[in-house]
Chains A and B, each alone.
Chain A
C-alpha cells in the first residue's frame, strides 16, 4: 500500500474542515480503504471529539515527532469502522512544535500502513497551515456559500498553487437548497464561477451533523443523512469513481429566467 495524502483546509475557521476530515475518513474506511486521519491543529484539537475517540488518547502527534513514542502507538483505532485510525494533535503545545519536514517524514512513514492519509488543517495561513499542506498529494479546500468564506478560499487556492500543491479541489459545505432556490444564498455555480476550481463535494446543511457531533458518531455512518451521503460521495470520487452531483434543487424557474433576461437587456 502506498497511501495518498489529502489535506483538508479552508483559510476561514468554522466552515467544516474537521467535520469533513472525520467523515471522509469514515467513508473511505467503510468502503474498505484503510485511512488514517491526522489532526494538525496543534493546541486546538477537535478531530478526536468529532470522531468520538477523545477518551482513548495516550500519545499525540508531537509525541511522535519528538520521539516519545512509536508512530504505531499514536494511532488510535476507531471503534466502529475497521482500518480507520486517528493521530490526535497535542493540546498543550503550539504549531511550532512541528515543522513541515516533520509532517513529510511522518506521512512517508505512514504511507505503507494505509491507502489514505487525511490531514485536518488548522484555520489560517500561518505555520499550522504550512505544516498541514507540506506532505499533501492533494489539497481539498472547503468553503461555505458566504462571501467571507469564498474570499478566504480564493486566497488559499492562490497559496496552494504558489506552493506547487495545486490545483486543489473544492467542497462546498452547508448549502441550503431552499435558500439557493429563492436567490438568498450563493449557489455552487456562483462559487465555481469565481473560484475556477474543480468541485469534489456539495454538502447540504443537515441537522444530523450536529447530533452526530453531540454523540461523537460521524454523520457518514448515518445512512439516512443527506450530509452523510454527500461525504460518502466525496470518498467515492477520491477513489476515482464517477459519482454524479445530485441536484440539490430544481434548476432556475421560468419566471426567474425571464426576469434575468429582461434585466440584462436580453444579452444572455
Chain B
C-alpha cells in the first residue's frame, strides 16, 4: 500500500470489511428479519401504499437501522412527482 493511497484513505484493510459485514449481519440477526424477508416486506409495502397514493416504486428504500438497544425499520417512500406523472401520462 502506497503512502498516497493511505493519505487518500484508500486503504481498505480486511478488518474494516469485517466491521461492516459484522454490523450488517447483526442488524438483521437482532431484528429477526433476513435480507430476503426485508425485500418481501418492501414489495408488500409498495403494493399497499400504491393503493392509496402514487409512489415512485423504483426508488423505495426499506432498511433496518440499529441503535444501542432498539432496532428501527426505516422506509423511504418517494411519492411520484407531478412532473413524472405528467411524463407518464404524456
Contact = CB atoms under 8 A, between A and B. Distances in A.
B22 interface: yes
For the residues of B in contact with A, the DSSP-based class is helix
Contacts of A186: 15, 18-19, 22
B8 interface: yes
A199 B48 CA distance: 46
B15 A180 contact: yes
B51 interface: no
B7 interface: yes
B90 interface: no
Nearest to A190: B19
Contacts, number: 60
B9 A151 contact: no
Contacts of B14: 183-185
Interface string A142-163: 0000110011001100100000
Contacts of B25: 147, 151
Q: Interface range on chain B: under 10, 10 to 19, 20 to 34, or 35 or more?
A: 20 to 34
Interface residues of A, number: 26
A259 B6 contact: yes
Contacts of B30: 154, 158
A190 B15 contact: yes
A260 B9 contact: yes
Contacts of A259: 6-9, 11
Interface string B1-37: 0010011110101111011011101100110000000
B83 interface: no
22 contacts: A151-B25, A151-B26, A154-B29, A155-B29, A179-B15, A180-B15, A183-B15, A183-B16, A184-B15, A185-B15, A186-B15, A186-B22, A194-B26, A196-B69, A255-B3, A256-B6, A259-B6, A259-B7, A259-B9, A262-B9, A263-B9, A264-B9
